[in-house]
C-alpha cells in the first residue's frame, strides 16, 4: 500500500513538473523584450530613431527575428518599402520581426 501511494505521489509531481507549470518565455516574448531594450539603449545614447533604423539585424539570440523602428501609426508608406526594412528580413534570412515606434513602444510582431 505504501509503495502504491509513493508511486502516485511521484506520478503527480512528475505531471506537475512537465505539464507547463514552469512556463518559459516564448520566442515572441524574448524578441519583443530584446527589441524594446535595444531601442531604449539607442534612445538613451541619444541616437535619432525618427528615420526608422533597423536596430538588430538579426536579433543575436533569435536569428530568425529582426528588430526595426517604424512610424506609428503606420500611415507613412515609407515603412512598407523593402529598402527601409531590415536586410535579414528582406533577404529571407529572418522570417519574423518586431516593430517598435521611436518611443520604444511595441507596434507589432510577426
Q: How far is CA 64 from the centre of its chain?
A: 10
12, part of any domain: no
Q: Note whether 49 and 42 are within 8 A (CB).
A: yes
| DSSP 8-state assignment for residue 96 | E
The pLDDT assigned to 23 comes to 44
pTM of the model: 0.74
Q: How many residues does the chain have?
A: 110
Region 46-73: what's the mean pLDDT? 93
C-alpha torsion sign, points 51, 81, 96, 58? negative
97, part of any domain: yes
Binned at pLDDT 50, 70 and 90, residue 84 comes out as confident
Region 23-43: what's the mean pLDDT? 92
Question: Per-residue pLDDT for 12 more than 60?
Answer: no
57, part of any domain: yes
Region 45-57: what's the mean pLDDT? 93
104, part of any domain: yes
Q: Note whether 100 and 36 are within 8 A (CB).
A: yes
11, part of any domain: no
Binned at pLDDT 50, 70 and 90, residue 22 comes out as very low
| Cβ count near 26 (within 10 Å) | 9
10, part of any domain: no
- Reading the block at residue 98, the C-alpha cell is 518586431
Range of the domain at 57: 25-109
The pLDDT assigned to 51 comes to 84
Total domains present in the chain? 1
Amino acid at each position: 500500500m505504501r509503495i502504491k501511494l509513493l508511486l502516485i505521489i511521484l506520478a503527480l509531481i512528475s505531471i506537475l513538473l512537465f505539464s507547463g507549470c514552469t512556463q518559459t518565455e516564448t520566442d515572441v516574448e524574448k524578441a519583443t523584450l530584446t527589441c524594446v531594450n535595444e531601442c531604449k539603449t539607442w534612445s538613451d545614447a541619444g541616437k535619432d530613431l525618427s528615420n526608422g533604423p533597423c536596430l538588430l539585424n538579426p536579433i543575436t539570440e533569435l536569428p530568425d527575428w529582426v528588430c526595426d523602428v517604424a512610424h506609428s501609426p503606420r500611415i507613412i508608406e515609407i515603412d512598407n518599402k523593402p529598402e527601409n526594412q531590415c536586410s535579414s528580413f528582406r533577404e529571407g534570412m529572418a522570417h519574423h520581426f518586431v516593430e517598435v515606434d521611436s518611443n520604444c513602444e511595441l507596434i507589432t510582431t510577426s
